Amino acid sequence: MAKKTNKKSLLAKIVIIAAIIIIIPFLTPNMYIMQIVNMIGIYIILGIGINVLTGFTGQLSLGQAAFFGIGAYVTAIMNTRGGMQFLACLIGSMVITGIVGAVLAVPALKVKGSYLALLTMGFGEIIRIVMINWTPVTNGTAGILEIESPVIFGFSFDTLTKFYFLIMVFVILGILYEDILIKTRTGRAFVAIREDNEAAELTGINVTTYKIRAFVLSAVYSGIAGCLYAMMIKYVSPDTFVNNTSNIILWTAIVGGFGTVVGPIFGGIIMQVLPEVLRFLGDWRLVIYGVILLIVILRFPGGVYPYIEKFIDRIRRRKKSDAAGGKG
Amino acid sequence: MLFQQILNGLTNGSLYALMAVGVTMVYKSLGMLNFAHGDIMMVGTFITLTFVLMGYPLYVGIALGVISAAILGFLLERAILRKVKFTSFVNLLIATVGVSYVLRNAAMVIWGTSPQLFPSMFPETLIEIGNFRITPQSIGVILISLVIITGLHFFFTKVKIGKCMQLANSDPEGAAMMGVNVTHMRFLTFGISAALAAIAGIMIAPMTYARVDMSATIGMKAFAAAILGGIGNLWGALLGGIILGIVEALGSAYISTAYRDAFSFIILFIVLFVKPTGLLNKKIENKL
């Protein structure tokens, strides 16, 4: 009986989510807002990536923009110079960011806490400096122009609305994979490492390989986001992949709910919508944006999602007790 | 040429050392890096510049800039870090990153993003010794940094308040039992650290122009210097800063100018990989 209702509510959830996803493009009045919606999708993928690394495994990263940038640049170079299509670029971005993630994991295994934060931040800076100075490959500060729209089996995703559905496919796959991963042995090992490194090691978890796995996974997520970003904006430059972007990616995971599966969705929406809402403040909007985020971090240390969950739970319980009271 | 580069390295290095000392002090009291350190430096520098442009003499501007940076340090400790719930270390660190974001963007709005000329407090005439030309600026910067760091050393080992600060940082509970006000000491640590950063910024700005983005690069170099020398160690910060400065100067002269800023981060990677405790620290600190 309980199983049946579970199945039913799952089905209902799927239908509601599918309906929301399909309706969104019809509700957006213009392409500018469509682009913001797409950016939300990209930031959700980035948020999931850092959530795996920092939220679940507890390895703080302040250089996530580097992976995002590498993913975008690999796609841009493969597409404009090699003339390759979307799927090839996507695989290229995933493989190369994965390798870079594994390489960064080697020094990162030795340190933790603020040292790790600094190491990842330095990594981000090095990648940015390379992007600016390795002109023959990256075209320097000018960036790479004229990236083509993705084409899959002859179907071209040439408008932002079409692109939206492509991004949503990756967002859903990304969330499902994260959800499944967390329930497996790997996911439990990640959480064990976050809670207590030494204890995890004592119980026989190979901390080294799991940490490397978390780094690679997080890098690959960012690589996918980078590939989608490059194909959507059609232009990449080092200005996008700066320290500020790393901070925003980290906040996307934190503001939503650190170490929760759906946290990055809330984070992605809040982080992308807030600056647009604050546009009336003019130049000061980024300052106010930072202040608001700071307040959120101080007021809701675990992100907003756990509080939303608690709030919904309280309403539900009140309804239940009301119903019970009515019967009595 | 070589001599000139080493002198340049020493000049920059002693400034990194001055920043690194502040990083080290805060690390000791908080157990983590203050990622807003570079931004406090930048704000202090720009406040000085603002007063100078308003027509006040340079020394008044410097004093006001340093004082306002110290106030900013106090505020950071009192209004933000003390309010963070200690559920996890990550929150504390992210709070400093958040402060850094706010300060940097506010500075961009107030002072703009273009580099601005900054008056030097040293005379322009070159000192010539044989074939070598030395700017009074480098001599002045190196001397001032050395004097400040030595002074701090005596402050921490000989003066009562300094000793109390050391004690409050290394053993807060013990210090509290001895009647030391740990909260006040931490407060003071942040103030001194911020003031040192502002002094460094005021001496860096005449060489590199005052610019908002100096907070990120120089702040990171200060962290690198502090870790290279061994965090929590005053002389380590000095050694780390000078090594970093010289490597950077030689690297940009003989290897590549474009990758100048990358050298310090590569050194940071190597140090964290080979000896994360730094050159002068022996004990492994298991702080998170």
Could you give the CA distance from residue A261 to residue A253 in angstroms, rounded to a whole number?
10
Phi-psi region of A123 (alpha: psi -120 to 50; beta: other; left: phi over 0): alpha
Q: Which residues on B lie below 8 Å from A286 (Cβ)?
A: 105, 108-109
Residue in A137, A191, A244, A287 to test binding to B, most B beta-carbons within 10 Å: A287
Q: Which residues on A lie below 8 Å from B93 (Cβ)?
A: 60, 113-114, 117
> Which residues, at least 6 apart from B30, have a Cβ–Cβ distance to it below 8 Å?
B81, B92, B186
Q: Are B80 and A110 inside 8 Å of each other by CB?
A: no
Q: Considering just the CA atoms, what is the radius of gyration of chain B in Å?
A: 19
Measuring CA to CA, how many Å separate B108 from each of A245, B59, B94, B281? 16, 25, 21, 38
In this complex, the residue of A60, A111, A290 whose CB is nearest that of residue B90 is A60
In this complex, the residue of B87, B262, B272 whose CB is nearest that of residue A119 is B272
- pLDDT class for A326, splitting at 50, 70, 90? low
Which residues of chain A are at the B interface, by a Cβ-Cβ cutoff of 8 Å?
54, 58, 60, 62, 106-107, 110-115, 117-119, 121-123, 125-126, 129-130, 132-133, 243-244, 247, 250-251, 254, 258, 283-284, 286-287, 289-291, 293-294, 297-298, 301-302
Q: Are B83 and A298 inside 8 Å of each other by CB?
A: yes
- d(CA A39, nearest CA chain B) in Å: 21
In this complex, the residue of B98, B262, B288 whose CB is nearest that of residue A297 is B98
Q: Are B80 and A294 inside 8 Å of each other by CB?
A: yes
Q: Which residues on B lie below 8 Å from A244 (Cβ)?
A: 101, 104
Residue in B33, B87, B105 to test binding to A, most A beta-carbons within 10 Å: B105
Could you give the CA distance from residue A294 to residue A211 in angstroms, rounded to a whole number?
29
Give the pLDDT confidence of A165-195 residue by residue, as tens digits.
999 999 999 999 999 999 999 999 999 998 8
CA B233 from chain center: how many Å?
A: 14
Give the pLDDT confidence of A139-173 residue by residue, as tens digits.
888 889 888 888 888 788 888 888 999 999 999 99
Rounded mean pLDDT of chain A? 88
Q: Which residues on B lie below 8 Å from A291 (Cβ)?
A: 102
- d(CA A294, nearest CA chain B) in Å: 6
Burial of B128 (0-12, 13-18, 19+ CB in 10 A): exposed
Q: Considering just the CA atoms, what is the radius of gyration of chain A in Å?
A: 21
In this complex, the residue of B90, B91, B265 whose CB is nearest that of residue A125 is B265
- pLDDT class for A115, splitting at 50, 70, 90? confident
Q: Which residues on A lie below 8 Å from B262 (Cβ)?
A: 125-126, 129-130
Give the pLDDT confidence of B232-288 residue by residue, as tens digits.
788 889 999 999 999 999 988 888 887 888 888 888 888 888 887 778 776 555 443
Higher pLDDT, A323 or B64: B64
Return phi, psi of residue B276, to 5°.
Answer: -60, -20
CB contacts < 8 Å between A and B, how many?
A: 118
Higher pLDDT, B127 or A214: A214
Residue of B nearest to A247 (CA): B97
pLDDT of A2 strictly over 60: no
pLDDT of A311 strictly over 60: yes
Mean pLDDT score, B85-110: 84
Residue of A nearest to B264 (CA): A122
Residue B22's pLDDT is what?
92
Residue B286's pLDDT is what?
47
Mean pLDDT check: name the lowest of A4-8, A16-20, B139-143: A4-8
- Considering only CA atoms, which of B191, B281, B220 is closest in space to residue A122? B220
Q: What angle do CA A207, A65, B116 make, to 5 degrees?
A: 130
ipTM of the prediction: 0.85
> Which residues, at least 6 apart from A228, have a Cβ–Cβ distance to it below 8 Å?
A41, A42, A45, A166, A167, A170
Residue in A115, A129, A196, A295 to test binding to B, most B beta-carbons within 10 Å: A115
Kindly state whether B88 is in contact with chain A, defined as any CB-CB distance less than 8 angstroms: yes
Q: Are B261 and A62 inside 8 Å of each other by CB?
A: no
Q: What is the largest CA-CA distance in chain A?
A: 79
Q: Which residues on A lie below 8 Å from B35 (Cβ)?
A: 117
Q: Structure tokens of B94?
A: 């992210």
Give the pLDDT confidence of B180-196 residue by residue, as tens digits.
888 888 888 999 999 99
Residue of A nearest to B268 (CA): A119
Residue B33's pLDDT is what?
87
Give the pLDDT confidence of A210-264 residue by residue, as tens digits.
999 999 999 999 999 999 999 999 899 998 898 889 989 998 888 888 888 888 9
Q: Which residues on A lie below 8 Å from B84 (Cβ)?
A: 297-298, 301
Kindly state whether B127 is in contact with chain A, defined as any CB-CB distance less than 8 angstroms: no
- d(CA A8, nearest CA chain B) in Å: 38
- Is residue A97 a contact partner of residue A219, using CB atoms and an 8 Å limit? yes
- d(CA A303, nearest CA chain B) in Å: 10
Mean pLDDT score, A32-59: 92
Give me the residue spans of the domains in chain B.
22-215
Mean pLDDT score, B221-231: 89
